[in-house]
Amino acid sequence: MLAEIQVLPTPSGTPTSGYAYIDQAIAGLAADTGLRIEVGALGTTIEGAPDEVWAALRRAHDATLIAGADQVVTVIKVAECPTDPSRMSIDELTSAHRGSRA
């Protein structure tokens, strides 16, 4: 399964660390070493078994609130192909575009 998550906490961080709550969400994802995680500029992509991916998405969402955000909106996109999981991998979907420059 593939998922992309974007957390939008309010505020995004603390006066001394402008993205502290977003950083905590990413740390929540990274807590599960069985998942492949790629942090992007506007979201984070996660690849792994469905139950593990769903649990990681919940951890990321909750981590922003536990860290002190007043509120959070979380945007999640999910792609899954149970008959052929290899079709829904980060490498499969991005390999043609890796290394190219516009």
Among left, alpha and beta (phi > 0; psi -120 to 50; other), residue 55 is alpha
Largest alpha-carbon pair distance within the chain? Answer: 48
Nearest to 17 by CA among 73, 58, 68: 68
User: Is 86 a member of any domain?
Assistant: yes
Residue 32 has pLDDT above 70, yes or no: no
The string of pLDDT tens digits covering residues 35-84 is: 999 999 999 999 999 999 999 999 999 999 999 999 999 999 999 988 88
Q: What is the tally of structural domains in the chain?
A: 1
- What distance in Å separates the CA atoms of residue 12 and residue 89, rounded to the nearest whole number? 30
**Domain of residue 17, CATH code:** 3.30.70.930
**What residue numbers bound the domain in which 78 lies?**
2-94
